[in-house]
Structure 1
């Protein structure tokens, strides 16, 4: 028996289906061409990208077709293809009310933000929740999500980063244990199922169409979502009309800040963490060494700092700018810290989830990482070291997010952040300035000690 709920609010190629399409099945589905012509140009209907392939290629249809390169990671959209969908009937699994089982308490500023989130959901408006790292953004969403779910609305929390989705999933499940939850990302072990509550990477939004009453984009400023027109289109296509759109970020870009200041978009600004302690302000440390010479590495200020933290049994994260540098340093670090439990992790690491879990479970003293862990992960008690903080990959937003990994726990609010550099960059200066500005605003409001 065919489960037609697979098509509810979705936009799927036949190659994405777990069964073969027959005339009987297609007769019950809505279908639309995968390519459309706009102003004389061929445009992908899934991501709205103009085809950059000027010549056609031999196709499975027997002819020659264009295909879309932009969203090819989720399956090749050919010129001859069709996209299949069904209108979402909102037939969800029932649950007992209230569906929110979280018993925590919100602070005064969190409660105010939570109320504004609910207001936005009820009014189907667009809102940005601008909150410093560690302010408790997820908890501020709970009551709004509850309001939406109990009103038979479909809710999606999306993020550009898989790590953020994996961090969110258990917290959302614990808060709403009786509401079925689908967690969608590339390489996910579980197959798709129709649920009222969804957590997904922003790339997964390509597969949705007119699906969600509430779409929450976490880490809206992060790569690859930031300024990606195809993903912005996918997010808009995934929403019903009308619907509510909520942006979450600790580091809104200048364009979004202009929208806030002009009143184009409503903003809720939270400059303090939930525990009432100030954000750690990074310390800059100048260095000359490169660390690639094993015989000299132990004499460098970084290794001496790392050794001091190891001796103190203080866990920490070491951020590096590139995977290539990590490859050079890993054997050196293994030689120097041969009796210490640590791991190296990056975006191409197939064991990334397992290594992050080991760090969270207290099995590692330190974790060496690229910017892949700049956001979306929380550890109980860590310091943060950034090597070559003046590298171009470390933007203002990245450095603010990286610094935000420290001091997140109320039991350990004094984590230290160190930027090792060859010279102060605009990004480094701006990051420190932004952190100090938020602390100043929080003190002025009486929100931090």
Structure 2
């Protein structure tokens, strides 16, 4: 957003709001499952009744599709809608999908480094940081991945979301791993993925002394074998590492991304298009990206950066496609942590709820 100091002038628009110049079209012919339909209708009722709602759905349940009817109904009612998320990657993933579904609606995607966009947008997709720019601007606000860092840990970001909404507007939350603070009276729980297959369950595999080996420029044998197997079978993969330092010094020429990487968007696209075999990444890609048939390894899964919710979200990258509903998710570790056990147990619990 650039530098802002205490002597900077901040301006707000005090006159009548802009008038939309386009008519909204709903261009989505997908079919919701009975569970999705129920949750979507519950969310729509809450939106129409101006009551806060929590959509608690497993990774890959098709949460975005559930928002479409509520967003379209709001746009038709002349309301201005915001879909916010803590991570830029989520906004980049959502933007083209929303453009296809609402082809006549002026939609702006706001994130650090976003290009200038023209017109008065009635639907805005924005990182939560960008909502510092708005005051009493939105009639309906959805916060996707509301438990993600830094939003859940930063009171000013939470206040920015409240400030961006009109005083009478309510805020709705969407996530697979809600914190206690997100619990609301109205909730929808979606325990099964849209394609009906169970969530891939992570497996644990020891990787003793991986830190020491990587510092010496040696990829641990088990990890190297895992990556070689994916490359030989043309399976795209993500390797999550606990620190940027470990990422930067990882041996080999695999592309790597982290929060400040200038080519993060392009490298994720290269993996999606199978122009590269895999990516090394930090937790920045734990959520908000969908890559068909991707397999995942977490190196140092016992380290504190990998909380139970982070490990659940990382596991949720696997098996999202109906064509490839399964896949390998392995937690390489130097000792099993409580968070690892908790993540695995939670995924198994969701599967039990779905297939009893």
Query: Do they superpose with TM above 0.5?
Result: yes
Q: Distance in 1 between matches of 2:165 and 2:215?
A: 53
- Residue 92 (structure 1) aligned with residue 20 (structure 2): yes
- Residue 319 (structure 1) aligned with residue 240 (structure 2): yes
Which of these two proteins has the greater Rg computed from alpha carbons? Answer: 1
Q: Report if aligned partners of 1:219, 1:250 keep a CA contact under 8 Å in 2.
A: yes
Q: Distance in 1 between matches of 2:12 and 2:218?
A: 61
With the length of structure 1 as denominator, give the TM-score of the two structures: 0.76
Quote the residue 2:173 is aligned against. Answer: 247
Q: Distance in 2 between matches of 1:229 and 1:195?
A: 27
Quote the residue 1:274 is aligned against. Answer: 194
Q: Report if aligned partners of 1:120, 1:244 keep a CA contact under 8 Å in 2.
A: no
Q: Mark the CA change 1:112 to 1:356 in structure 2 (over 3 Å): closer, same or farther.
A: same
Residues 261-315 of structure 1 show CA distances to partners (whole Å, capped at 9, x for unaligned) of: xxx4311111110000000010000121323266753x62111121122222222
Q: Mark the CA change 1:87 to 1:413 in structure 2 (over 3 Å): closer, same or farther.
A: farther
Matches within 5 A, 1:23-42: none
Say which of 241, 253, 270 aligns to 1:358.
Answer: 270
Q: Mark the CA change 1:430 to 1:310 in structure 2 (over 3 Å): closer, same or farther.
A: same
- The 3-state SS of whatever aligns with 2:142 is strand
The alpha-carbon deviation at position 364 of structure 1 amounts to: 1.5
Aligned residues: 354
Q: Report if aligned partners of 1:343, 1:368 keep a CA contact under 8 Å in 2.
A: yes
Quote the residue 1:284 is aligned against. Answer: 204
Q: Structure 1 stretches of 5 or more lacking a match?
A: 1-72, 335-341, 445-449
With a CA cutoff of 8 Å and minimum separation of 6, indicate the structure with the bigger relative contact order. 2
Q: Report if aligned partners of 2:209, 2:334 keep a CA contact under 8 Å in 1.
A: no
Q: Distance in 1 between matches of 2:131 and 2:53?
A: 19
Q: Distance in 2 between matches of 1:395 and 1:289?
A: 21
- Residue 380 (structure 1) aligned with residue 302 (structure 2): no
Quote the residue 2:229 is aligned against. Answer: 308
The alpha-carbon deviation at position 191 of structure 1 amounts to: 4.2
Q: Distance in 2 between matches of 1:143 and 1:92?
A: 20
Quote the residue 2:47 is aligned against. Answer: 121
Q: Distance in 1 between matches of 2:120 and 2:12?
A: 15
- Residue 429 (structure 1) aligned with residue 317 (structure 2): no
Residues 404-442 of structure 1 show CA distances to partners (whole Å, capped at 9, x for unaligned) of: 000000000011100000111111111111111111111
- The 3-state SS of whatever aligns with 1:386 is strand
The alpha-carbon deviation at position 185 of structure 1 amounts to: 1.0
Q: Report if aligned partners of 2:106, 2:119 keep a CA contact under 8 Å in 1.
A: no
Say which of 70, 74, 84 aligns to 1:148.
Answer: 74
Q: Mark the CA change 1:158 to 1:365 in structure 2 (over 3 Å): closer, same or farther.
A: same
Q: Which moved more, 1:212-221 or 1:84-93?
A: 84-93
RMSD: 1.7
Say which of 304, 308, 313 aligns to 1:392.
Answer: 304
Q: Report if aligned partners of 1:359, 1:366 keep a CA contact under 8 Å in 2.
A: yes
Residues 308-329 of structure 1 show CA distances to partners (whole Å, capped at 9, x for unaligned) of: 2222222211111111001111
Q: Structure 2 stretches of 5 or more lacking a match?
A: none
Q: Report if aligned partners of 1:92, 1:196 keep a CA contact under 8 Å in 2.
A: yes
With the length of structure 2 as denominator, give the TM-score of the two structures: 0.95
The alpha-carbon deviation at position 151 of structure 1 amounts to: 0.6
- Residue 190 (structure 1) aligned with residue 90 (structure 2): no
Q: Mark the CA change 1:390 to 1:238 in structure 2 (over 3 Å): closer, same or farther.
A: same
